[in-house]
Amino acid sequence: MLAFAALCVALISMKPLIMDELLTLIAVRQPTLSDVLARTREHAGNVPLGFVLENLSLRLTGYSIWFARLPWAVWGIATLIAFGALARKLRAPSPLLAIILFAAFPQTLRYALEIRPYMPALLFSILLTILFLKLADRATLGLALAYALLVAATLYTLPFAAFVCGAHFLWAAIYKKWRATAYIAAASVAAVAAFVPWYLSARSAWHEEMTVRFIRFSINAKSPLLLFREVTGAGYWGMGVIVILCILGIARARMDRPTLTLLLLLIAVPFAAGLLADAVFGYFLAARQFLWILPALAILAASAWETRPRETTALALLAIAISGYKSARYFTQLEPDYEAAAKAIAQEVDRGACFRVVPDISKQLYVYFAPRIAMDSGNCSAVVAAVVPGFSDQDRDVLFNDLTRRGYTKLRTGEVGETAITTFRKPD
C-alpha cells in the first residue's frame, strides 16, 4: 500500500493533462455546482458524483495539476484497501499476491492518476461485492437499504460499474438465497429509478454530442483482441500470463465452488452487460468500461499459489514485470501538450488573429489554458487555425478550403505540442 502511494506521489504530475482530463476539468472548474452539473450533462455518458466531489476538493485546495489529480490517487489507495478486504472476505488462498497483482495492473495505476471517475467507481463496485457477501450471509432490510444506496452512488459515478449487481443477483439465485435475491433485485430497481431523472435530463445533450463527434457502437473481428490487450493494460503478453494463472487457479486452487462461481460471474456478467449497454445506447467500445472485472481476475490469478507456489510465483513475477514495463511506457510516452499549443495560439490572437480549430467542438481544450483566445470580433484580417491531434487531413481541408474561398492566404504552418497550427491572412 505504501509503495503504491509513493508511486502515485512520484508520478502524479509527470504527464500533461490529456484530452479526457481536460474535458473533466472544464466541467469541474465552474463557479457554482449548478454550472458543474450543466457542463457535466454536455458530454455523453457523464454522471455528476465524481465531478461534484472534484469541484469540492479543488475549492478546498486550490487548483494545480497535482491537487487536481490528488483525490483520484486517494481513491486509488482506498480501492486497494477495499480490495484487500474483499480478498480476505472471500478467503482467497493468497490475498497478498492478489493485492500485488491488482496494484501492478497498469490500468489500476493509470486511473489512480487520471482526473476521471473510474477509480471511485471501481472502489464502489468492490464495496458492493463486500456488502453483497454480508447480505448473502444475513439478508436484512438494513443491509438491503445500504446496498441500494451504494448502487445509486455507483450509478451516479459511472453506470457501467453497477453491472456487478447482475453477478450478485445470479449467484444468489443459483445458490437459492431467495431473500437476498429479492433484496438485490429491489435495491437495484430502486437505484435505477433514482438514476432515471439524471438520464432524462442529459439524454438529448448526450445524443447531440455523439452525433457531432460521430460516436457510435462498432464491433468487429479485432475487438476481442483489443479488449484482451487493454483490459488490464498489460498487453497481449501480460494478459496471456494472467489468463494462464487464472486457469491454474480454477484447476488447482483450494477454493470452494460457490466462491469460484462468484468470481467467474464477476468477470462474465459485467463484461457481457457492458457490451450489451454499448450496443443498446450506440456508445463506442472501450476497455475501461470493463475495469470492474479486475478484482476477480487478480484473485483468480493468485489463487493457485497455495498448491503450486513455484509456478504461480514465477508466472506472477513475469506478469508484474510486464505490467511494470507497460506502466513505465505509458507514463513516459509523449502526449499532446494542449497548454503549450494554447500559449502559441494566444500569441497570434494577441496580434489580432481570430482562432479556429478542427473540430470546432474541441475549441475548449485550448480556451481552458488561454481564455482570451475565445474572444472573436468577427472582423478578422488574420486567422490562426489549429488541428487537434488525431483528426484527419479531410477534417483539416474542410476548414482550410473555406478560408481560402474567403480570401485568406496561408502564411506559415508549424506544430506545437503535437497540435498543427497554421496562420492565414487576408491581403490588405
**What is the DSSP code string of 369-422?**
T-GGGG---S--SEEEEEE-TT--HHHHHHHHHHHHHTT-EEEEEEEETTEEEE
Instruction: Show the low-confidence residues of the chain (pLDDT under 70).
Output: 213, 377-378, 392, 428
* 32 φψ region: left (φ > 0), alpha (ψ -120 to 50), beta (else): beta
Whole-structure pTM value: 0.93
Q: Please answer whether residues 73 and 123 qualify as being in contact, where contact means their C-beta atoms are separated by less than 8 angstroms.
A: no
Residue 8: its pLDDT value, please?
93
Going from the C-alpha of 357 to that of each of 232, 342, 379, 424, the distances in angstroms are 34, 11, 17, 13
354-358 sheet: strands from edge to edge? 354-358, 382-387, 419-425, 409-416
Other CB atoms within 10 A of residue 199 CB? 13
> What type of residue sits at position 57?
S
CA dist., res. 124 & res. 403, Å (int):
50
pLDDT tens by residue, 211-233 = 776 777 888 888 899 999 999 99
Residue 145: its pLDDT value, please?
97
pLDDT tens by residue, 131-189 = 999 999 999 999 999 999 999 999 999 999 999 999 999 999 999 999 999 999 999 99
Grid coordinates of 83: 480490495
Residue 428: its pLDDT value, please?
67
409: exposed, middle or buried (C-beta count within 10 Å: 0-12, 13-18, 19+)? exposed
CA dist., res. 89 & res. 106, Å (int):
25
Of 303, 299, 231, 239, nearest to 271 by C-alpha is: 231
Spans of all domains in the chain: 2-332, 338-425
Residue 220: its pLDDT value, please?
84
Phi, psi (rounded to 5 degrees) for 370 = -140, 80
